[in-house]
């Protein structure tokens, strides 16, 4: 298990971390997070940090709490009846549970779901939905933003002459890129991708992976994936989550070496169990 | 499968006794279900043909556009048509907004707790209350307690209460048919619940919602028991043939369903074709409304976006 050295009382922690030069680079801090659905605990008190501008991989089998973890960060877990969150999640040093403007939090944390969801709106409106919901009305700004996001998601060239046709009519791979464009449209500082490549072909996957490498200059990326090799290719650090507990969290050099600290990591990464 | 387990591969597709038996039972099942489905159509056709044929002698343009005379046994049915129109319109104006909005609350906002469970229970049970009981409730609540007297308003409100649970149920069903993933996608980008409802949920469930509401028109037009107790007269002489025959807040009115009931069971010396003619008009109204609901649904479905 991974542990973090911290002062025993909260003020000490604050003091120490203010002096810590690494303080600036901690984008998300999670401390002793527990999540239960209707009394059944699925995340058992995990702690870790995500650094700014890194690609943070999360691997692990189904039911290990990966998606739930992401939903805790942007607080959409609150829409699930019976979900109870304990512990502390900080984004930019701020406790998310105390944030009054949860909509701004969700705009800061872009989320891409496993299956592509084209909203039943035009391609343009799909991408302009979030900025409009946030109150942006200026047509020129919207146009520019929509183009920028579609370009970033590697979709612009394919849809540039049919922006007013329905997003739901696009192919699966295009819809997934549309979903990514929508997640970028509210200009998040953190981008969470939850098994984004599950419904798209390898070629498109590689294109999006290139996009992600570009995007990390501007934002922090959390990449949840079932494809161990994808985490290996893209991530700086990878966390192995299993049954709601962190088995190992380390840089990719260690995680995907022949000698990770935990035997289970080696076995999972190499397909021996899981 | 190996060759050894199938020594003669050419015969494995041949028709055996077992296969013939399967074919036979398939055929029997298909015919049986088909006949049952066809049986649905027969009563409707018989009713329509019988009613229209019997009512033919009394049916004319004049019959539709003149007011009844001599206690209803002579003249036309215009004032009854207008009365039904008033009652249906007012009751829908009350029940549609309340029903649709409360369904949106129940489906989109409410969390599962004791309060929503009680509301659900109330909706289901209200839908099961017989219409005559609704009529008695309307008599006690609107006519006497609220002091509205026997009036179009009392009758309309009684019918509103009767149709509310059905509108709530059909609206909830329409809302639930919009995939949850759409809502989650909206919440993920920082949209509020109301923004999600207005931009995504309502535009994509409006066809189902409207269909549910329109189907209540035909139910409202056909009910007799609740309106008989709360504001519909067996006969009321009115002047003129315009649309503004009644004051909905104070007047009682005539209504097609009540007129039919009265002529068919209570009135002496009415021409034998008269009740059938009224029935034809009532039936046409109901079928017309249903047809427009189907048409509207087909139109909105063709614009459905996923």
Look at residue B306 in the predicted model and tell me its pLDDT. Answer: 59
Furthest-apart CA pair in chain A: how many Å? 59
Phi, psi dihedrals of residue A116, rounded to the nearest 5°: -65, 135
Provide the shortest C-alpha distance from residue B113 to chain A (in Å): 10
Look at residue A9 in the predicted model and tell me its pLDDT. Answer: 45
Q: What is the mean pLDDT of residues B156-180?
A: 92
**Which has the minimum average pLDDT: A7-16, A154-163, A236-245?**
A7-16
The confidence band for A20, taking pLDDT boundaries of 50, 70 and 90, is very low
Which residues, 6+ apart, have CB-to-CB distance to A230 below 8 Å? A57, A197, A205, A209, A223
Give the model confidence (pLDDT) of A219-269 as tens digits: 999 999 888 888 888 999 999 998 888 988 988 888 888 888 888 888 888
Look at residue B167 in the predicted model and tell me its pLDDT. Answer: 93
Give the model confidence (pLDDT) of B129-142 as tens digits: 998 999 999 898 88
Count residue pairs from A and B with Cβ separation < 8 A: 74
* Structural contact between residues B186 and A119, judged by C-beta atoms closer than 8 angstroms: yes
Look at residue B5 in the predicted model and tell me its pLDDT. Answer: 55
Look at residue A1 in the predicted model and tell me its pLDDT. Answer: 37
Measured in whole angstroms, the distance separating CA A131 from the mean position of its chain's CA atoms is: 20
Sheet holding A94-95, edge to edge: A40-51, A26-37, A83-91, A94-95
| B160 class by beta-carbon count within 10 Å (0-12 exposed, 13-18 middle, 19+ buried) | buried
pTM for the full predicted model = 0.80
Which one, of B204, B207, B201, lies nearest residue B105 by Cα?
Answer: B201
Q: What is the mean pLDDT of residues B201-222?
A: 89
Check CB contact under 8 Å for B305 and A107: no
* Structural contact between residues B190 and A107, judged by C-beta atoms closer than 8 angstroms: yes
Which residues in B lie closer than 8 A to residue A120 (C-beta atoms)? 182, 200, 203-204, 304-306
- Which of A103, A118, A166 shows the shortest C-beta gap to B192? A103
Check CB contact under 8 Å for B112 and A107: no
Which one, of B145, B134, B296, B131, lies nearest residue B213 by Cα?
Answer: B296
Which residues in B lie closer than 8 A to residue A182 (C-beta atoms)? 185, 189
The confidence band for B7, taking pLDDT boundaries of 50, 70 and 90, is low
Check CB contact under 8 Å for A179 and B203: no
Superfamily of domain A10-17+26-269: P-loop containing nucleotide triphosphate hydrolases (3.40.50.300)
Give the model confidence (pLDDT) of A82-135 as tens digits: 889 999 999 988 888 888 888 989 999 989 888 888 888 999 999 999 999 888
Q: What is the mean pLDDT of residues A32-48?
A: 90
Which residues in A lie closer than 8 A to residue B188 (C-beta atoms)? 74, 76, 106, 110-111, 113, 183
Residue B104 has pLDDT above 90, yes or no: yes
Spatial distance between the Cα atoms of B266 and B6, rounded to a whole number of angstroms: 80
Check CB contact under 8 Å for B305 and A120: yes
Contact map slice: B 17-56 vs A, CB within 8 A: none
Which residues in A lie closer than 8 A to residue B182 (C-beta atoms)? 117, 119-120
Look at residue B9 in the predicted model and tell me its pLDDT. Answer: 62
- Which of A81, A129, A166 shows the shortest C-beta gap to B189? A129
Provide the shortest C-alpha distance from residue B190 to chain A (in Å): 4
Q: What is the ipTM of this complex?
A: 0.81
Give the number of C-alpha atoms closer than 13 A to the C-alpha of residue A156, restricted to the C-beta side: 13
Residue A163, both tokens: 């922006």
Provide the shortest C-alpha distance from residue A111 to chain B (in Å): 6
Look at residue A7 in the predicted model and tell me its pLDDT. Answer: 42
Look at residue A114 in the predicted model and tell me its pLDDT. Answer: 82
Give the model confidence (pLDDT) of B61-80 as tens digits: 888 888 887 777 788 888 88
Q: What is the mean pLDDT of residues B35-62?
A: 89
Residue A6 has pLDDT above 50, yes or no: no
Residue A18 has pLDDT above 60, yes or no: no
Which residues in B lie closer than 8 A to residue A110 (C-beta atoms)? 188-189
Residue A150 has pLDDT above 60, yes or no: yes
Spatial distance between the Cα atoms of B132 and A65, rounded to a whole number of angstroms: 55
- Which of B190, B195, B199 shows the shortest C-beta gap to A107? B190
Give the model confidence (pLDDT) of A23-32 as tens digits: 457 889 999 9
Give the model confidence (pLDDT) of A195-231 as tens digits: 888 877 888 888 888 888 888 888 999 999 888 888 8
Residue B146, both tokens: 């609220």
Spatial distance between the Cα atoms of B100 and B169, rounded to a whole number of angstroms: 9
Check CB contact under 8 Å for A166 and B305: yes
For chain B, list the domains and their CATH numbers.
Answer: 58-302 (1.10.3720.10)
Spatial distance between the Cα atoms of A109 and A192, rounded to a whole number of angstroms: 7
The confidence band for B275, taking pLDDT boundaries of 50, 70 and 90, is confident
DSSP line for B200-249: IIHHHHHHHHHHHHHHHHHHHHH--HHHHHHTB-S------SSS----TT
Q: What is the mean pLDDT of residues A166-186?
A: 88
Interface test mutation site (partner B, options A82, A119, A130, max chain B beta carbons within 10 A):
A119
């Amino acid at each position: 298990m991974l542990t973090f050295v911290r002062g025993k009382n909260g003020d000490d922690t604050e003091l120490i971390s203010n002096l810590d030069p690494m303080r600036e680079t901690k984008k998300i801090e999670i401390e002793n997070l527990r999540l239960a659905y209707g009394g059944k605990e699925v995340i058992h008190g995990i702690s870790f940090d995500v650094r700014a501008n890194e690609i943070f991989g999360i691997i692990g089998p189904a039911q290990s709490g990966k998606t739930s973890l992401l939903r805790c960060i942007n607080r959409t877990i609150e829409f699930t009846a019976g979900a109870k969150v304990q512990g502390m999640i900080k984004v930019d040093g701020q406790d998310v549970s105390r944030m009054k403007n949860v909509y701004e939090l969700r705009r800061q944390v872009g989320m891409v779901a496993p299956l592509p969801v084209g909203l039943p709106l035009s391609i343009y409106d799909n991408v302009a939905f979030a900025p409009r919901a946030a109150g942006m009305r200026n047509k020129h700004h919207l146009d520019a933003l929509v183009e920028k996001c579609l370009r970033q998601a590697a979709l612009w060239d394919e849809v540039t002459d049919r922006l007013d046709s329905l997003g739901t009519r696009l192919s699966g791979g295009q819809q997934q890129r549309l979903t990514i464009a929508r997640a970028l449209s509210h200009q998040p500082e953190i981008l969470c991708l939850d098994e984004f490549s599950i419904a798209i072909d390898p070629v498109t996957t590689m294109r999006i992976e290139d996009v992600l490498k570009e995007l990390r200059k501007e934002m922090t990326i959390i990449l949840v994936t079932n494809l161990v090799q994808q985490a290996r290719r893209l991530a700086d650090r990878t966390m192995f989550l299993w049954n709601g507990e962190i088995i190992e969290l380390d840089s990719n050099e260690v995680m995907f070496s022949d000698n990770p600290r935990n035997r289970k990591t080696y076995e999972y990464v190499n397909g021996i169990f899981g | 499968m190996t060759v050894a387990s199938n020594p003669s591969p050419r015969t494995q597709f041949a028709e055996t006794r077992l296969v013939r038996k399967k074919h036979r039972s398939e055929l029997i099942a298909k015919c049986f279900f088909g006949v049952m489905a066809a049986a649905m159509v027969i009563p409707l056709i018989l009713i329509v043909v019988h009613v229209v044929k019997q009512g033919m002698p009394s049916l004319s343009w004049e019959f539709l556009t003149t007011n009844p005379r001599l206690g209803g046994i002579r003249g036309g049915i215009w004032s009854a048509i207008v009365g039904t129109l008033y009652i249906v319109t007012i009751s829908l104006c009350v029940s549609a907004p309340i029903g649709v909005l409360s369904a949106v609350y129940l489906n989109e906002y409410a969390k599962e707790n004791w309060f929503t469970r009680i509301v659900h229970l109330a909706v289901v049970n209200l839908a099961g209350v017989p219409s005559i009981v609704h009529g008695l409730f309307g008599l006690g609540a609107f006519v006497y307690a609220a002091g509205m007297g026997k009036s179009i308003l009392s009758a309309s409100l009684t019918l509103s209460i009767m149709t509310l649970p059905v509108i709530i149920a059909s609206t909830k069903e329409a809302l639930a048919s919009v995939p949850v993933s759409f809502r989650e996608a909206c919440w993920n980008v920082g949209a509020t619940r109301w923004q999600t409802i207005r931009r995504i949920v309502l535009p994509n469930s409006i066809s189902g919602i409207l269909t549910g509401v329109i189907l209540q028109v035909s139910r409202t037009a056909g009910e007799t028991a609740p309106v008989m107790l709360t504001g519909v007269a067996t006969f009321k002489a009115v002047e003129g043939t315009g649309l503004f025959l009644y004051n909905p807040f104070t007047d009682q009115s005539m209504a097609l369903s009540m007129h039919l009931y009265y002529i068919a069971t209570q009135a002496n010396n009415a021409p034998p074709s008269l009740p059938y003619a009224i029935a034809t008009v009532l039936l046409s109204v109901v079928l017309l409304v249903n047809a427009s609901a189907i048409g509207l649904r087909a139109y909105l479905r063709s614009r459905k976006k996923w």
